[in-house]
Chains A and B, each alone.
Chain A
Amino acid sequence: GAGVSQSPRYKVAKRGQDVALRCDPISGHVSLFWYQQALGQGPEFLTYFQNEAQLDKSGLPSDRFFAERPEGSVSTLKIQRTQQEDSAVYLCASSLFGTIYFGEGSWLTVV
């Protein structure tokens, strides 16, 4: 596609519910990143993939967060047993040669 596509754009989840957020990176981009962003704050790094390999997951806040990219293209960020503090925008980004291109984000609200 022309840009990084994320879905859903908006998600309201009840506390304790599991959610899955999808990212379609720019075709051919090797690197894929997930970030968590609170309102008015800079994005916080969650995890990084190079092709299908998850090279860095040091930013995942707890074992309730899990990300995968099984075929080196589409990625899914899964949050289990959501809690209110998980409410944020989740940004996906991809890159090929250094420049990072971001999607519009998935807005998650946990009620």
Chain B
Amino acid sequence: TQLLEQSPQFLSIQEGENLTVYCNSSSVFSSLQWYRQEPGEGPVLLVTVVTGGEVKKLKRLTFQFGDARKDSSLHITAAQPGDTGLYLCAGVGQFYFGTGTSLTVIP
């Protein structure tokens, strides 16, 4: 059961472009995490957002938690080939991951 829907499912962009991926749910989460998974590896935690409306920045990545704590977004500025991977959101303590966004950044 996937309680978290991510969009888009696939995204292919040129190096230097900006992009936003979304994570939406009908459920309220106490906090939400974003992970990045590279081919052949397990997911690695990027950030945890806890407060509704919270914005966190990690270099060129900006994470936002919706006011109602049902949705989140990840914005990448000036994407680089090293950003390529599968981006996953997950509700903390829920065990469930989102459907994933597969990002390819073309040099």
Chain A residues packing against B (C-beta within 8 Å): 4, 33, 35, 40-45, 48, 56, 59, 91, 93, 98-105
| A104 & B100 in contact (Cβ 8 Å cutoff) | no
A107–B6 CA distance with the chains assembled, in angstroms = 24
Residue B43 at the chain A interface, CB threshold 8 Å: yes
Q: How many A-B residue pairs have CB under 8 A?
A: 49
Those of B14-45 within 8 Å (CB) of chain A:
40-45
Within the complex, which residue of A4, A33, A42, A104 is in contact with B88, where a contact is CB–CB below 8 Å?
Answer: A42
Q: Which residues of A contact B92 (CB under 8 A)?
A: 98
- Dominant SS at the B interface? loop
Interfacial chain A residues near B45, Cβ < 8 Å: 99-100
Interface 1/0 per residue, B41-68 and A, CB below 8 Å? 1111100100000000000000000000
Please tell me if the beta carbons of B100 and A105 are within 8 angstroms of each other in the complex.
Answer: no
User: Chain B interface (Cβ within 8 Å of chain A)?
Assistant: 2, 4, 6, 9-10, 40-45, 48, 86, 88, 92, 95-100, 102
Assess whether A45 is in contact with B96, with CB atoms less than 8 Å apart. yes
Which residues of the other chain, B, contact A59 by a CB distance below 8 angstroms? 95
Chain B residue nearest in CB terms to A56? B95
A45–B43 Cα distance when bound, in Å, is 14
The answer to whether B102 and A40 have CB atoms under 8 Å apart is yes
Among B2, B10, B40, B42, contact of A42 (Cβ-Cβ < 8 Å): B2
A40 to B48, CA, bound (A): 22
Tell me whether A104 and B98 are in contact (CB under 8 A): no
A33 touches B44 (CB 8 A): no
Is the Cβ of B86 less than 8 Å from the Cβ of A102?
Answer: no
Are A102 and B100 touching (Cβ within 8 A)?
Answer: no
Q: Say whether A104 contacts B95, CB under 8 Å.
A: no
